[in-house]
A and B are shown apart, each in its own frame.
Chain A
Amino acid sequence: MKTHSNEREISIRANQLTKQYGDFIAANAISFEVYQGEIFGFLGANGAGKTTAMRMLCGLSTPSSGSATIAGFDVYKQTEQIKENIGYMSQKFSLYEDLTVLENIRFYGGIYGLSRNELKEKSAALIDRLGLQGEAHKLVASLPLGWKQKLAFSVAVLHQPRIVFLDEPTGGVDPVTRRQFWDLIYQAAEQGVTIFVTTHYMDEAEYCNRISIMVDGRIAALDTPHNLKQQFQVGSMDEVFYHLAREAKRIES
């Protein structure tokens, strides 16, 4: 595990990053920095450009202009290295329902190139940590939603990435389970993993170290939740978000 010897080590750096589809500018010159071990919230209404930005950072799509480095690797030239150093969890939890817990762990570990021994060790440790000993050989389809979600997250960080991208990881999950899920995120961050998370839930935004709010393809605000509330002189993140999002001109797609 990486230690956070240097809190200010930059993990993600985006500079004037832009993605344009014809006349439509999905992400317009976004710039920000995320530090190693930080929990960075990425907020925005639907269609604000969150997904586009995240896809560029994951090496899934090439930016139209601007620059970005992920864990020190360039998004244009070093997508292979980027992919080896990041983890990803989508809003659909992305586990195979017709595979058992253990098979899912081994599959995802396997495609990240973990060796047989590593896999054996890590999957046993993971199952212990999540308390899934009794369910290891059950199909994922039979697990409750909260467990699937925790499993999906643990699988996403199994190969010890330096950064993990979470795309609306808590969609459709009740608040109690969501709280437990965030405990996992804190644990990972404490071990030095950078967390880049998009969400629609404002209570989750409060859990982040810093958040950015995207409106119409631009970053409209970026700071700690505390500072943002002060800046807009409101009592909750909900109001901050509403304040910014109502100025949006783009029609929700």
Chain B
Amino acid sequence: MTQFTTFIKKEFYHVLRDRKTLLILFGMPVVQILIFGFALTNEVKNSKIVIVDEAKDEASTEIIGKIEASRYFEIEKVVANRQQIETAFKEGKVKAAILFPANFSKDLQHQNKAQVQIIADATDPNNATALTNYLSSIVQDYQSELNQPQAVPYRIIPETRMLYNPQLKGAHNFVPGVMAMVLMLVCVMMTAISIVKEKETGTMEVLLVSPFKPVLVILSKAIPYLILSLFNVASILLLSVFVLDLPINGSLLLLLAESTLFIITCLTLGIFISIKTESQQTAMLISLMGMLLPTMLFSGFMFPIENMPMPLQVISNIIPAKWYYIIVKAVMIKGLGFEAIWKETLILLGITLFLFAISLKSFKIRLA
């Protein structure tokens, strides 16, 4: 046991003395959370809009008031005629425009029908669609207010509820994704590199000649990274709760337990890579290209798996991060318990055991 602690102590020296590694270890989660949280957001917020109010009547004023109150829009300017719309778009700041023709209220009252034009800058199609949807719904909102006193038969009013994420916050989606990515990167790459490094410097040979058991060499390499990764999980969770206002709805203990399982999966993957490779560069490349890229593509965090062609959907099943991502979303955001995620947990456990078995096998072959 003292041998074991001696070894783990040594591993901590390695990590703590290597500034670059430390920076990656502890800086990366923070930077990723901040980047995804504030820079890479696909939420539509405070989009600049131009309003052309040729009507200047009761109805148009009321709708404009609603637009102004909405957090999606920020009124850049209110102009009197439609010629100015194009100039505003060309300046590039304005993302949408809404035009109320003259006699807007009158038409509405006398003909029971009035037109309003919505124009959006569709150089970014997703953004344009979102903006026009928001604007239409504001107009519809006003319309249903108008209709309330009258009894109109046969009306279907869809009542939309955004479950688990009523404010449609992007953080709900990316925090679990960032967790999967950071753990993948830290555990797989760092473990693989640290073991391969011992091979490169020749210290591995000395360790194998010593009475210290080879399996213990590998295990004591993994343990420091398990501890450091738990720190990472904690820091990501703290950031998401206190900086991004994303509460943990489910059991924290369950979340930590599942994270530990995923960390172990990643560690065995890192160990497997280290057994198969001879240089730090190879280990790093394989970890990055072979692990990180599939994690981003197939975990469902950036691209929905349901929309992928069948073969890719099948491939996604062997990506451990996919299952962890599902688990974290279920526990953290939906607040579900273990009964909802036992299947995913079992799959993750299966992948881990499989990786562990083949690592152990190839490690023994290497020694013979």
Residue from A83, A92, A113 in contact with B202 in the complex, judged by beta carbons closer than 8 Å: A92
Query: Is A96 close to B, CB under 8 A?
Result: yes
Nearest CB to that of B5 among chain A residues? A110
Chain A facing B: main interface SS: loop
Q: Mark A103-117, 1 if CB is under 8 A from B, else 0.
A: 100111011110110
User: For window 68-93 of chain A, which residues contact chain B by CB distance below 8 Å?
Assistant: 80, 83-84, 86, 88-93
A-B interface pairs (CB < 8 A), number = 76
Query: Is B2 close to A, CB under 8 A?
Result: yes
Query: Is B367 close to A, CB under 8 A?
Result: yes
Nearest-CB distance from A99 to chain B (Å)? Answer: 6
Query: Is A209 close to B, CB under 8 A?
Result: no
Query: Is A58 close to B, CB under 8 A?
Result: yes
Give the most central of B6, B13, B201, B367: most A CB within 10 Å. Answer: B6
In the bound complex, how far is the Cα of B209 from the Cα of A108, in angstroms? 12
Query: Is B346 close to A, CB under 8 A?
Result: no
Q: Find out whether the CB atom of A110 lies under 8 angstroms from the CB atom of B206.
A: no
Query: Is A52 close to B, CB under 8 A?
Result: no
Q: Find out whether the CB atom of B210 lies under 8 angstroms from the CB atom of A94.
A: no
User: For window 199-213 of chain B, which residues contact chain A by CB distance below 8 Å?
Assistant: 201-203, 205-212
Which residues of the partner chain A approach B10 to less than 8 Å between Cβ atoms?
A: 96, 99, 103, 107
Q: Find out whether the CB atom of B205 lies under 8 angstroms from the CB atom of A96.
A: no
Q: Find out whether the CB atom of B202 lies under 8 angstroms from the CB atom of A111.
A: no
Which residues of the partner chain B approach A110 to less than 8 Å between Cβ atoms?
A: 2-3, 6-7
Residue from B17, B208, B212 in contact with A60 in the complex, judged by beta carbons closer than 8 Å: B208
Query: How many of chain B's residues have a CB under 8 angstroms from any CB in A?
Result: 23
Nearest CB to that of A80 among chain B residues? B211
Q: Find out whether the CB atom of B6 lies under 8 angstroms from the CB atom of A83.
A: no
Residue from A83, A89, A97, A113 in contact with B3 in the complex, judged by beta carbons closer than 8 Å: A113
Q: Find out whether the CB atom of A90 lies under 8 angstroms from the CB atom of B202.
A: yes
Nearest-CB distance from A144 to chain B (Å)? Answer: 18
Give the most central of A59, A94, A115: most B CB within 10 Å. Answer: A94
Q: A92-B203, A94-B206, A113-B3 are in contact. List 9 more A-B contacts (CB 8 A).
A: A59-B209, A86-B209, A89-B206, A94-B202, A94-B205, A98-B13, A103-B13, A111-B207, A112-B212
- Selected A-B contacts with CB under 8 Å, 29 pairs: A59-B209, A60-B209, A62-B368, A83-B211, A88-B209, A89-B206, A90-B205, A91-B202, A92-B202, A92-B203, A93-B202, A96-B13, A96-B201, A96-B203, A98-B13, A98-B17, A98-B18, A99-B10, A103-B13, A106-B6, A107-B10, A108-B210, A110-B3, A110-B7, A111-B207, A111-B210, A113-B2, A113-B211, A156-B206
Shortest 10 CB-CB contacts between residues of A and residues of B: A110-B6, A92-B202, A88-B209, A94-B206, A83-B211, A111-B212, A90-B202, A94-B202, A94-B203, A84-B211
